[in-house]
């Protein structure tokens, strides 16, 4: 059940983040998606903080990055955007696991 949740939310995260970075979705929608995802996750009541796979680790890392950084920095910081793109590529199955990717479960 948890693996299905992560996989489903990963596909949604790719969609939302990609649209945001293409200027086709406002930051507020991305923000609402992240908080909805966290609320759904909280319903599972998972006690372990360590992700069970590298894919899940990248998922939590990316979710944190997108929520932590202000909208303007997400748009203008080229290094941050490159790191986020590496995460998205990995989640799409098109790249290697990003360096310095530390994702933990909330």
What is the pLDDT tens value at each position of the chain, 106 positions in all?
A: 888 999 999 999 999 999 999 999 999 999 999 999 999 999 988 877 777 899 999 999 999 999 999 999 999 999 999 999 999 999 999 989 888 888 989 8
Beta-carbon contacts of residue 43 (< 8 Å; ≥ 6 apart)? none
CA atoms of 64 and 34, how far apart (whole Å): 9
105 located within any domain: no
64 located within any domain: yes
38 located within any domain: yes
42 located within any domain: yes
Per DSSP, 44 falls in state T
- What backbone phi and psi angles, to 5 degrees, belong to 51? -60, 150
24 located within any domain: yes
Per DSSP, 46 falls in state -
103 located within any domain: no
Q: Per the structure, how many domains does the chain have? A: 1
Range of the domain at 79: 2-92
Give the pLDDT of residue 102: 85
101 located within any domain: no
CA atoms of 26 and 48, how far apart (whole Å): 33
106 located within any domain: no
Give the pLDDT of residue 13: 98
């Amino acid at each position: 059940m948890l693996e299905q949740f992560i996989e489903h939310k990963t596909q949604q995260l790719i969609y939302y983040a990609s649209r945001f970075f293409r200027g086709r979705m406002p930051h507020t929608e991305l923000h609402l998606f992240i908080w909805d995802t966290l609320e759904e996750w909280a319903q599972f009541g998972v006690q372990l903080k360590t992700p069970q796979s590298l894919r899940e680790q990248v998922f939590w890392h990316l979710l944190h990055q997108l929520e932590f950084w202000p909208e303007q920095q997400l748009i203008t910081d080229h290094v941050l955007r490159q790191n986020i793109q590496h995460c998205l590529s990995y989640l799409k199955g098109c790249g290697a696991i990003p360096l310095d990717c530390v994702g933990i479960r909330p």
